[in-house]
Amino acid sequence: MNIVRETKCVMLCCLAMVVGWTCSGAGAQCKGAESVAGHWDLALQCWTLNRYNLFEALDRAASLGIECIEAYPGQVVSGERPGLKFNVGMTAEERSYVKAELRRKGLRLVNFGVVAVPKDEAGRRRLFEFAEDMGIETVVAEPGEAVMDSLDRLCQEFRINLAIHNHPKPSPFWNPQRVLDLCQGRSKYIGACGDTGHWRRSGLDPVACLRQLEGRVISLHFKDVVKEGDRWTRAAKDVPWGMGKNDVSAMMAELERQGFRGVFSIEYERNDIKDLTADLSACVMYFQVQKHLLAATGWRSPLAADLSNCVYPAGSWTYEGGVLERVGGDNIWTKERYGDFILDLEFKVGAKANSGVFIRCGSIDEWIHTCIEVQIHDTTDGTKHGQCGAIYDCLSPSENALRPTGQWNHLTVIALANRVWVIMNSVRIIDMDLNLWTQAGKNPQGTRNKFRTAYKDMPREGHIGFQDHGDPVWYRNVRIMPLN
């Protein structure tokens, strides 16, 4: 079975587990203020998109909400300059050309690798001068022992890290102990770029490898993989984080325990998938959710026991035994406003009933045109983009994940900047980039919607609301984790 193609939605089961059970119950407390996960950076190792030029890879990273880049030597820079490759030998003008594009897209070039370390001292200095000029924080390489003292001196002089990368067995650094041997007695700038996929391909446990390298992990080529056949080999394939055998949440928890403050670079080795957007988006979402779960103070309920923190006509909703029930009168809104968040709840509707969950409502008085609605519906055959779980009038769910009438459904809505994901009953059904909705009243594919505001211009923070559409609806176990 093709793991990625056949289980594109199932890959979010693991995320649903992170959302639903890492912290059990509304109001449960997660890791406290001492967590360092909030300082982690997510990067794209451009080798993942090596069929594209560098500027095209930057476009894709920016569209996924990734803010950092790890470049690799030899990638064609742009279609405009097909003969220019990203490397140490670029002229000052060529470097400025790349830096201007990075600034234009709001991206940071943090890492460079895997590079071949020059054999001569002058060449090694040029490498570090290039890194300094480009703003690179970490050079990733697989150096020989003979040059380590020279590299350490350069690292300290330029205050740039040297992270030793591990290719699979029998490469020189497949065993973490070999990396530790080279770090022994050297400065804090010398450490490991742990390639978690290659550790698994070498038959090692990545969590144990990270534990062994404690204090020397500088950066990561972060991967989740599945094996081909009965043994771990180089043929093991990269899959979205949480879908493989690397226990991604355990790796991140171990790094959080160690106080790691470095960069997670998403890297895929495989080239059998033409479009990796869905896979990369799932990795970004998994990372962001797990990062915030580790760093956050915990879940809380947006609904007070007496609904005193909500705006609604008296008697139109009841909240008893933790169940919010529509009685009739109008929508109910939180007084508090939320920007980036994980909203987690269960809902149940009557036969053919209709409702909705509103997010980021800019104005309660003008809610139709200032908020995003996740459609709640007893059927999936309503109006276009009106099926249960749809972003109403804008984007249909990828599949029908609704349970039969009268049963409770589990819904998770994740909003991060321009991205909105909806997971229903452990199936990802919506992956939305708000920035693609560039025109008022029009969807990207050309169909019309009813909104006077382009979705890219919708408020990025606002009230949470539950719709009274005249039909019976119930919500319970409503909890939210702000991510900003």
**C-alpha span between 421 and 11 (Å, rounded):** 13
pLDDT score, position 256: 92
pLDDT for residue 17: 42
What is the tally of structural domains in the chain? 2
- C-alpha distance from residue 314 to each of 12, 307, 335 (Å): 39, 10, 15
Give the C-alpha separation, 12 to 412, whole Å.
11
The whole-angstrom separation of Cα 24 and Cα 119 is 55
Same domain, yes or no: 43 and 106: yes
Measured between alpha carbons, how far is 435 from 329 in angstroms, rounded to an integer?
34
Residue 303 lies in a domain: no
Q: Is residue 230 part of a domain?
A: yes
Q: Same structural domain for residues 247 and 341? A: no
- Measured at the alpha carbon of residue 288, what is the angle toward residues 284 and 195, in degrees to the nearest 5? 60
pLDDT (tens digit, 0 to 9) for every residue of the chain, 484 residues total?
Answer: 333 333 333 334 444 444 443 333 333 333 334 678 878 999 999 999 999 999 999 999 999 999 999 999 999 999 999 999 999 999 999 999 999 999 999 999 999 999 999 999 999 999 999 999 999 999 999 999 999 999 999 999 999 999 999 999 999 999 999 999 999 999 999 999 999 999 999 999 999 999 999 999 999 999 999 988 778 888 899 999 988 889 898 999 999 999 999 999 999 998 788 889 989 998 998 898 888 777 655 688 999 999 999 999 999 999 999 999 999 999 999 999 999 999 999 999 999 999 999 999 999 999 999 999 999 999 876 667 889 999 999 999 988 999 999 999 999 999 988 899 999 998 889 989 999 999 999 999 999 999 999 999 999 999 999 999 999 999 999 999 888 6
Claim to verify: residue 354 and residue 386 sit in the same structural domain: yes
pLDDT of 297: 56
Provide the residue range defining the domain that includes 150.
Answer: 35-295
Distance CA 419, CA 431 (A): 7
Q: Look at residues 256, 271, 295 and tell me which one is the last residue of a structural domain.
A: 295
244 and 195 both lie in a single domain: yes
pLDDT on residue 34: 60
- Give the CATH number for residue 166: 3.20.20.150
Predicted structure pTM score: 0.69
The confidence score (pLDDT) of residue 428 equals 84
* pLDDT of the residue at 426: 82
Please tell me whether residues 274 and 382 are part of one structural domain.
no
Q: Do residues 87 and 73 lie in contact, with contact meaning Cβ atoms separated by under 8 Å?
A: yes
Using CA atoms, how far apart are residues 12 and 7, in angstroms rounded to an integer? 9
Q: Is 22 within the bounds of a domain?
A: no
pLDDT at residue 243, rounded to an integer = 85
My answer on whether 57 and 115 are in the same domain is yes
Q: Is residue 282 part of a domain?
A: yes
